[in-house]
Structure 1
Amino acid sequence: MIGITHRIATELGVAEAQVRAAVDLLDGGATVPFVARYRKEATGGLDDAQLRTLEERLAYLRDLEERRGAIRDAIQGLGKLDAALAQKIATAETKARLEDLYAPFKVKRRTKAQIAREAGLGPLAEALLAQPERDPVQTAKAFAGKDGFPDADATLEGARAILIERFGEDAELVGSLREDGWRRGRMHASVRKGKAEAGQKFADYFSFEEPLTRLPSHRILALFRGEKEEVLDLDLTDAETPPPGQPAWQEARIAKTFGIGDRGRPGDRYLAETVRKTWRTKLKPAIDTDLRARLWAVAEAGAVQVFAGNLRDLLLAAPAGARPTLGLDPGFRSGVKVAVVDATGKVVATDAVFPHEPRRDWTGALATLAKLCRAHAVELIAIGNGTASRETDKLAAELLARHPELKLTKVMVSEAGASVYSASAYASAELPDLDVTLRGAVSIARRLQDPLAELVKIEPKAIGVGQYQHDLAEGKLSRSLDAVVEDCVNGVGVDVNVASAPLLARVSGLSERVAANIVVHRDANGPFRSRAALRKVAGLGPKAYELAAGFLRIRDGSDPLDASGVHPEAYPVVKKILAATGQPINALIGNGAALKALNPQKFVDATFGLPTVADIIAELEKPGRDPRPAFRTATFQDGVEKISDLKPGMRLEGVVTNVAAFGAFVDVGVHQDGLVHISVLADRFVKDPREVVKPGDVVQVRVVEVDPARKRIALSMRSDDGQRQTRQEPARQEPARQEQGRQDQGRREQGRPARESAPRPAAPADEPGGALAEALRRATSGRPRGNG
């Protein structure tokens, strides 16, 4: 254990004592949000990002130690564990290294080498390697005639099998070939014969080559998918091709390792051929497999990081707040579904209007909406951004113009995942009396009021802000996304008297069962008046209460501290502060001048250190503060409703819908997102687009290029792009429609229609992520949904 904590501490750049304390807390059942917020003294202030990394590395290294012990015991059981090998096993830093060391001792299926050894050809193999000055054929004749090896040729092949196995199981050699192969290797892709026409979505890779170390995540995933769909042939090649007649560097290294060389001796040619076959038939296939696995790990890590980052930004988007809201789920033939929710999110009215084709009841729709808004004092209109969204937005705009007295504000809302929620078991339980089609409108309204509270009801993957998410390992993606949701929910805090069971279930220490019990208790006994009252909930024991209490808020309860982020265990510190200031709690809370005048060090004791006391004072100054940004809406330009309305040079306001490694997608109100390439995101060099923008940001963009025929929009956020010539050429087509296809298939399996084909945004020619961009845009914007 000491070795593990030391290694993690080195990787994180922190003291080992910090890591050891965090490990003890996590092993004791504490959650990352709890440790990050309320155990800063123990961990030396490790934040949630450090703790998540620690948690992941801890699991990997513990698995590594378990495997290390199993391998050591297995070799010792064979009586072949000497001091040198034991030392190598003890110092192996990766699972790959351990498996290299174990390879010679593994119980194998009966190989050619084993058969040759059983026939007594082991001494022949050793003699051929040690004495190349001897003639191989003459040497082999002495061993010929054994079972299965009737002559010298067969005997030499048997000895070669033994040598190939020996060469191929040298741990140091294999490790060096793998690492140098990674540094020097290149991925080569070509189109399969007869697949060019059908596989046009992979056209970027019909003749493609790039160093392994430079391949970005989305490109790796695209290449592997092209191979899986039998369009592309992939091959790992070397940076340098040896001259004709010369061995590859890998063969030269194998030969050098075993002292083999061409010195004109009788056995040199035999050994050289053995080396060649070792590389080509044994080591290259195995190392290629390892390198592919490493590429996949790089791709998966990158894709999970993109997904997690975008999900975090979406969950922490600015809430509009507790205001009566009308939700519109747009559609053509099936109409626009309407739901009104009050300030608490409770459904108070539903309807459907048909302003578009084929009924075209524009006047009737306006009358119905105006009546609903007036009857329920609606302040906000949330419009889903799916099929018919721009047309429905125009309807809402006319409603605002005709009825200024209603003082309405309209907002376009991403409806990604709304249909998944509508058909879920939770939606059926939460809204049992509502038709599935109307539940989507409810979700759209609620996610404007509080994106976090509503989106936690949807499986993170269904929100659709990732790249090639269907290709990723289920477990790794789910763990990462669940961690993001947990951190976001606990970072914001949860009002226990209005929160849904899915939201409560994301609170530190609360299981789904306990979360449901809280709702049942609340419904039966009325709102909780204090955090202490939570102890009466069935299943909420002392440990769960300790982990959860600080993140649960009791608004207008018996104790003002219960509405803050101060943990109940720290209330004695607050009493000391009250005594020192001579003020009651209601007078001190929010009194910045009095609180800033305090010396936190005076309230430190054996239980609560300076970090906790400082947090308590900050929380008293702004109790229960929401870390999310202030709510702001984008204003789409009048008269710009479709892509043909866009002209180069236009400056527009839009909303960032997604962020990828190569740029950001912005909705400017034309039912088609445009791409702001990373090269024109800012006036300065941008390494990571997330440094500049995140989903939900309202931004100013300039239209650089519009291609209505191909439904492409190139945008820029540079301030000087009017004078500078930016490279915005037609995008190369990277595979992405398969992402849409997988989503559509999932919808069909759930009895829902596949989305209609959506137009594609522009991407610069030097970015092969054009189609990835398209996949991301579709997933994020969620449009069109095919409900018209």
Structure 2
Amino acid sequence: MTNPSTDSPVVFTPILDRIAQELSVSTRQVTAAVALLDEGATVPFIARYRKEATGGLDDTQLRTLEGRLRYLRELEERRTAILASLVEQQKLTPELEDAIRSADSKTRLEDLYAPHRPKKRSKAQVAREQGLEPLADALLATPALVPEQAAAEYVNEATGVLDVGAALDGARAILIERFSEAPELVGGLRTYVWDQGTIRSAVAEGQEEKGAKFRDYFDAREPVNKLPSHRVLALLRGRKEGILKLSIVLPDDDSGAALGEPERRIAAFAGVTHQGRPADDFLRTAVTLAWKARLQPKLENDVEQRLREMAEEEAIRVFGTNLRDLLLAAPAGTRVTMGLDPGIRTGVKVAVVGNTGAVVATATVFPHEPRKDWDGSIAALAALCLTHKVDLVAIGNGTASRETEKLVSELMDKFPQLGLTRIVVSEAGASVYSASELASKELPELDVTLRGAVSIARRLQDPLAELVKIEPRSIGVGQYQHDVSQPALARQLDGVVEDCVNAVGADVNTASPALLARISGLNSRLAAQIVEYRTQHGPFRRRTELRDVPRLGDKTFEQAAGFLRILQGPDVLDASAVHPEAYPVVQRIAKATGREVPSLIGDGAFLRTLDPARFADDRFGTPTVRDILAELEKPGRDPRPEFRTARFKDSVHQLSDLQPGMTLEGVVTNVANFGAFVDIGVHQDGLVHVSQLADRFVKDPRDVVKAGQIVSVTVIEVDIPRKRVALTMRKAERPAPRPAQARDTGKAQPGGGAQSQRGTRPPARAPQPARQDRQERGPQTPAAAPATAMSAAFQKLLGK
């Protein structure tokens, strides 16, 4: 036994080296980033204002670094705990310590610790206490021994070994445990199961009808290491719901061989060969039981856990990417908007929101069953639009959405002078917001049922500002979001929201507490303090006044100031992303060029003639000066795209209206590894399989589309019973439209941005999260079908 070396209980430098290698950057960059994170700096702050220190690591690299640092530190903590346990048990040898210190994963670490982990008294432990380990060693070393004769010497009532059979059972238990806890053997077999195993799924007895949405998996096989993440999660959900039975099949399972490959490997490891000697059958049984009773269940669980973790990691990454696209969707801006929260029996809730986001009017109309006050509803909406000069009408996409769209369409036809544009937006999370404490503080005078209409209107004006008020998991964009690790999901989504909010920045004098709370360095408490301070003292005039907010110290100011804007203050730099600490650089530029700071703002032609290196110093290097010059050219630039809307055909309202060959415009609602879902206005998203995204090979759908993007698609096939629509974005070999369906009664979509759309009346959809039914309806791959274009596309998805 040896004591663990005490020079460095947690080996830190190897962690930095490993992260640097994984990110393909230098250890110096990683060291600087880790130091900043440990000091409390946020990822957005480091990415934007500490480029010299990190060598220009961006927010994506920093998020990856942050995650790997968390994992590797947990690994070090576990390594330290294991070494301490082994010292306490007096089981730590130099060889074991070297192996533990070099273990590069939690799985490897636990394999090494397994034989020495304190455990309940197993059969093997009891057998050792009964003195049966020498019998096990003797039979393993000398198979020529007759087991019954050798065991007879160990029969002893005092030790509890009452007969020969009990002695042999104990010796066998010792060997089984020894074989099943050998680290190298376990690791090799785990790799074998991963590389050679096949997942087999079958329908549970009597579940055929109930589990129809999983019928593509009623009798399916696929190699373990080839399963894509969405299929892994679909299989696991099917089993959880009691529809599917899953098993891992190995190559020898159906061969009828006396020993499969795993047993042969165990036998080779233990030196067991069957030569007809007296103890050979005893040893073979120990080998078989080591596999069947111990290792096979354990390793299948390990492999399934690895599959789950990989699938969850990918799904969470996809969810984060889609959320980023939605949060950074184009804002309609300061346009008076009417929000409609559709309902049938309870009526359509109406809220008019002014160009500052303030609620200026609310109402409830009842155009649908049971009242059917269609004309009265149109008149009421027209009056509101005329009185408040409404520009946009945002319609929630839930129950009665299509019927409410028709209502607005007729309103626009009867009153063209109103110049309205209608847009269908997602109402995902609106009900959650309506009943929240935040909503009750923001809209205390409004009934809960009307708050949803306000949220629908505001999320069209500024998706980011409104969606940050909602728990990200309630927005609903992602693969099987309820099936993945919720803490990991929350961590990813919180990071995405933080990155998006800080990429855009916030007007400190108008931003909501929810938006301010996501600014670098701030939290809910400090955000509330800022709002309270500006309420009591009036608008902030300078960034430096933030220091007067109670509990907002120097460190917080450093982290937050660059992301908070003061748009009409005396210092023009306060409206930009230039950090206050770098104002002297701007003054230096102005002095050196003989210009006043305000005159530099927006003069791109002049600023582009300047050499950033000329103004760099020991604190602010060339990368920071380059960013400052770019910011002076377009201060406070918004990274979000220009607002525009999709065009839907007025003649297409439901699945039965679709025909192969129809070309439609739609909005991408969700992007998965196997393709993209597109809302084409029929309450059922169509699927553009990855093979149909472009006239070239596409490895990652996100290279072509993103959530919220407006795309042109052509219908390939419609499966009404299964509510599936196959679409293509390929230009070549699109099916010709059927003559009866060639008419397009939709209105033309004007080009350009938001301002060019006034006075037009196209039905449209804003970038929106996928509705819950889109995410939870089960696999998107059909069972074997005739060789139609649709079935071929879905069979590709299934991997057949």
**What TM-score comes out, normalization by structure 1 length?**
0.91
- Look up the match of 2:26: 15
Confirm whether residue 225 of structure 1 aligns to residue 227 of structure 2.
no
Equivalences for residues 51-70 of structure 1 within 5 A: 51-70=62-81
Confirm whether residue 480 of structure 1 aligns to residue 517 of structure 2.
no
Query: Letter of the aligned partner of 2:518 in structure 1?
Result: R
Contact between 1:712 and 1:762, CA under 8 Å: does it hold in 2?
no
- Look up the match of 2:160: 148
- Look up the match of 2:626: 614
Contact between 1:421 and 1:457, CA under 8 Å: does it hold in 2?
yes
- Look up the match of 1:782: none
Q: CA distance change for structure 1 residues 84 and 277 in 2, over 3 Å: closer, same or farther?
A: same
Q: 2:139 aligns with which of 121, 124, 128?
A: 128
Aligned-pair CA distance for 1:756: 9.5
Aligned-pair CA distance for 1:412: 1.5
State the SS of the aligned residue for 1:109: coil
- Look up the match of 2:740: none
State the SS of the aligned residue for 1:470: coil
Contact between 1:192 and 1:233, CA under 8 Å: does it hold in 2?
yes
Query: Letter of the aligned partner of 1:199 in structure 2?
Result: G
Out of 701-710 and 378-387, give the one that drifted further: 701-710
Confirm whether residue 78 of structure 1 aligns to residue 89 of structure 2.
yes
Query: Letter of the aligned partner of 2:409 in structure 1?
Result: A
Equivalences for residues 512-661 of structure 1 within 5 A: 512-661=524-673
Q: CA distance change for structure 1 residues 761 and 511 in 2, over 3 Å: closer, same or farther?
A: closer
Contact between 1:675 and 1:761, CA under 8 Å: does it hold in 2?
no
The separation in 1 between residues aligned to 2:382 and 2:328, in whole angstroms, is: 31
Deviations 1:673-700 (A, max 9, x none): 2222222111112222221111211111
Equivalences for residues 257-406 of structure 1 within 5 A: 257-406=269-418
Confirm whether residue 676 of structure 1 aligns to residue 688 of structure 2.
yes
Query: Letter of the aligned partner of 1:300 in structure 2?
Result: E
Q: 1:198 aligns with which of 194, 210, 222?
A: 210
State the SS of the aligned residue for 1:527: coil
Equivalences for residues 405-554 of structure 1 within 5 A: 405-554=417-566
Out of 33-42 and 244-253, give the one that drifted further: 244-253
The separation in 2 between residues aligned to 1:651 and 1:765, in whole angstroms, is: 24
State the SS of the aligned residue for 1:103: helix
Aligned-pair CA distance for 1:65: 0.7
Q: 1:98 aligns with which of 109, 127, 133?
A: 109
Q: CA distance change for structure 1 residues 638 and 226 in 2, over 3 Å: closer, same or farther?
A: closer
Aligned-pair CA distance for 1:757: 11
Query: Letter of the aligned partner of 1:299 in structure 2?
Result: A
Q: CA distance change for structure 1 residues 426 and 578 in 2, over 3 Å: closer, same or farther?
A: same
The separation in 2 between residues aligned to 1:216 and 1:67, in whole angstroms, is: 31
State the SS of the aligned residue for 1:327: strand
Q: CA distance change for structure 1 residues 465 and 473 in 2, over 3 Å: closer, same or farther?
A: same
Deviations 1:195-246 (A, max 9, x none): 3333333222222221111112222222222222222222122134363243
Query: Letter of the aligned partner of 2:411 in structure 1?
Result: L
- Look up the match of 1:215: 227
Deviations 1:421-447 (A, max 9, x none): 111111111111111111111001100
Q: CA distance change for structure 1 residues 200 and 673 in 2, over 3 Å: closer, same or farther?
A: closer
Q: CA distance change for structure 1 residues 261 and 761 in 2, over 3 Å: closer, same or farther?
A: closer
State the SS of the aligned residue for 1:471: coil
- Look up the match of 1:784: none
The separation in 2 between residues aligned to 1:657 and 1:26, in whole angstroms, is: 34
The alignment yields a C-alpha RMSD, in angstroms, of 2.3
Confirm whether residue 695 of structure 1 aligns to residue 707 of structure 2.
yes
Contact between 1:714 and 1:763, CA under 8 Å: does it hold in 2?
no
Query: Letter of the aligned partner of 2:160 in structure 1?
Result: G
Contact between 1:674 and 1:762, CA under 8 Å: does it hold in 2?
no
- Look up the match of 1:780: none
Deviations 1:379-403 (A, max 9, x none): 2111111222222222223333333
The separation in 2 between residues aligned to 1:29 and 1:570, in whole angstroms, is: 20
State the SS of the aligned residue for 2:676: strand
Aligned-pair CA distance for 1:764: 5.6
The separation in 1 between residues aligned to 2:437 and 2:382, in whole angstroms, is: 33
Contact between 1:675 and 1:762, CA under 8 Å: does it hold in 2?
no
Contact between 2:216 and 2:782, CA under 8 Å: does it hold in 1?
no
Out of 250-259 and 662-671, give the one that drifted further: 662-671
Deviations 1:658-685 (A, max 9, x none): 2222222222222332222222111112
Aligned length: 744
Aligned-pair CA distance for 1:724: 9.7
Contact between 2:675 and 2:690, CA under 8 Å: does it hold in 1?
yes
Deviations 1:501-527 (A, max 9, x none): 011000000010000111111222221
State the SS of the aligned residue for 1:469: coil
Query: Letter of the aligned partner of 1:226 in structure 2?
Result: G
The separation in 2 between residues aligned to 1:713 and 1:759, in whole angstroms, is: 16
The separation in 1 between residues aligned to 2:658 and 2:269, in whole angstroms, is: 66
- Look up the match of 1:29: 40
Aligned-pair CA distance for 1:602: 0.5
Contact between 1:191 and 1:205, CA under 8 Å: does it hold in 2?
yes
Contact between 2:476 and 2:772, CA under 8 Å: does it hold in 1?
no
- Look up the match of 2:50: 39
Structure 2: any 5+ residue segments left out of the alignment? 1-11, 738-770, 795-800
The separation in 1 between residues aligned to 2:306 and 2:659, in whole angstroms, is: 45
Aligned-pair CA distance for 1:760: 7.6
Aligned-pair CA distance for 1:11: 0.7
Out of 683-692 and 666-675, give the one that drifted further: 666-675
Query: Letter of the aligned partner of 2:61 in structure 1?
Result: Q
Q: CA distance change for structure 1 residues 758 and 472 in 2, over 3 Å: closer, same or farther?
A: closer
Contact between 1:679 and 1:685, CA under 8 Å: does it hold in 2?
yes
- Look up the match of 2:98: 87
Confirm whether residue 181 of structure 1 aligns to residue 225 of structure 2.
no
Aligned-pair CA distance for 1:531: 0.9
Q: CA distance change for structure 1 residues 429 and 505 in 2, over 3 Å: closer, same or farther?
A: same
Aligned-pair CA distance for 1:499: 0.8
Q: CA distance change for structure 1 residues 175 and 512 in 2, over 3 Å: closer, same or farther?
A: same
The separation in 1 between residues aligned to 2:660 and 2:301, in whole angstroms, is: 48
Q: CA distance change for structure 1 residues 755 and 392 in 2, over 3 Å: closer, same or farther?
A: same
The separation in 1 between residues aligned to 2:172 and 2:719, in whole angstroms, is: 63
Aligned-pair CA distance for 1:332: 2.1
Query: Letter of the aligned partner of 2:460 in structure 1?
Result: L
Q: 1:48 aligns with which of 32, 35, 59?
A: 59
Query: Letter of the aligned partner of 1:100 in structure 2?
Result: D
State the SS of the aligned residue for 2:482: helix
Out of 301-310 and 501-510, give the one that drifted further: 301-310
- Look up the match of 1:732: none
Aligned-pair CA distance for 1:603: 0.6
Q: CA distance change for structure 1 residues 361 and 193 in 2, over 3 Å: closer, same or farther?
A: closer
Q: CA distance change for structure 1 residues 552 and 190 in 2, over 3 Å: closer, same or farther?
A: same
Q: CA distance change for structure 1 residues 383 and 677 in 2, over 3 Å: closer, same or farther?
A: same
Q: CA distance change for structure 1 residues 242 and 189 in 2, over 3 Å: closer, same or farther?
A: closer
The separation in 1 between residues aligned to 2:205 and 2:90, in whole angstroms, is: 53
Aligned-pair CA distance for 1:358: 3.0
Runs of 4 or more consecutive aligned structure 1 residues displaced over 4 Å after TM superposition: 754-764
Equivalences for residues 154-173 of structure 1 within 5 A: 154-173=166-185
- Look up the match of 2:149: 138
Contact between 2:479 and 2:775, CA under 8 Å: does it hold in 1?
no
